[in-house]
Chains A and B, each alone.
Chain A
Amino acid sequence: GENVEQHPSTLSVQEGDSAVIKCTYSDSASNYFPWYKQELGKRPQLIIDIRSNVGEKKDQRIAVTLNKTAKHFSLHITETQPEDSAVYFCAAGYNNNDMRFGAGTRLTVKP
């Protein structure tokens, strides 16, 4: 089955700086790579996703890149704000039925 590793486990940046979180996966059949944000005491919510036929996707300050050859994908947040502080989870899977999540990255944005 799929195995997802996520790094770093904690990340602290100054407001306005960029943050990058990286994930690797093991199953070359995986074709769907979502990222979830979980604020303290709340449920995980999808912030961006990418499918295997695309190498990069952007949504305002958030971007995700995918390298299928190397089996890794990354989340990039630019111009970070205090409200970006949360735990971020990457996930990988094939057609959503076998999604596996990374261990999470706790991002702290210092004002």
Chain B
Amino acid sequence: DVKVTQSSRYLVKRTGEKVFLECVQDMDHENMFWYRQDPGLGLRLIYFSYDVKMKEKGDIPEGYSVSREKKERFSLILESASTNQTSMYLCASSLGRGRSDTQYFGPGTRLTVL
């Protein structure tokens, strides 16, 4: 059974702080994704990675960066948190590049920026 975990369920930060959200998957998946989920907007892709040290911008990469130093771990970084980044952040992973595969989601991190 695929397991995707995220470092925190709830996080409260102040404007201007640097924020790290971590995601770990245990199924040797090649693809990993970061989404944010906001009411009425669905799931919007921030960044994805199809290999270690590889990253691709999604639809809303501004204000975010990512790091994938190891295959199982994909980190989302908010360099200087702002109130409009208050959201639910979901990480996902899927099996392999170039395949149509199920995405498995983590439990989500609800980030509040004050």
Cβ of A96 and Cβ of B103 under 8 Å apart? yes
Chain A 1-50 interface residues, beta-carbon cutoff 8 Å to B: 1, 6, 9, 31-32, 34, 36, 42-46, 49
**Contact (Cβ within 8 A) A44 B90:** yes
Contacts of B70 in A (CB 8 A): none
Smallest distance from the beta carbon of B105 to chain A beta carbons, Å? 4
CA–CA, A51 and B102, complex, Å: 12
* A104 contact set on B, CB distance < 8 A: 40, 42
A49-B43 Cα distance, complex, nearest whole Å: 17
Interface code B44-59, partner A: CB below 8 Å = 1, 0 otherwise? 1100101000001001
* Chain A, interface residues (CB within 8 Å), range: 20 to 34
Shortest distance from the beta carbon of A92 to any chain B beta carbon, whole Å: 11
State whether A97 and B50 are in contact (beta carbons under 8 Å apart), knowing that A49-B102, A103-B42 are contacts in the complex.
yes
Distance, CA A32 to CA B43, complexed state (A) = 17
The interface stretch among B11-19, B61-69, B79-87, B92-100 is: B92-100
- Set B31, B56, B102, B107: member contacting A43, Cβ < 8 A: B107
Also in contact, A103 and B41, with CB within 8 A (given A43-B107, A44-B90): yes
**How many chain B residues touch A (Cβ–Cβ < 8 Å)?**
27
Ordered nearest first, which 6 A-B pairs have the shortest CB separation? A32-B100, A101-B43, A103-B42, A43-B105, A101-B42, A46-B102
* Residues in B neighbouring A91, C-beta threshold 8 A: 43
Smallest CB separation, B11 vs chain A (Å): 16
Complex CA–CA separation, A103 to B41 (angstroms): 5
A36 to B56, CA, bound (A): 23
Q: How far is the CA of A97 from the CA of B103 in the complex (A)?
A: 10
In the complex, A41 Cα to B56 Cα: how many Å? 29
Contacts of B99 in A (CB 8 A): 95-96
CB-CB under 8 A from A95, the residues of chain B are: 97-100
Q: What residues of chain B lie closer than 8 Å to A101, measured between beta carbons?
A: 35, 42-45
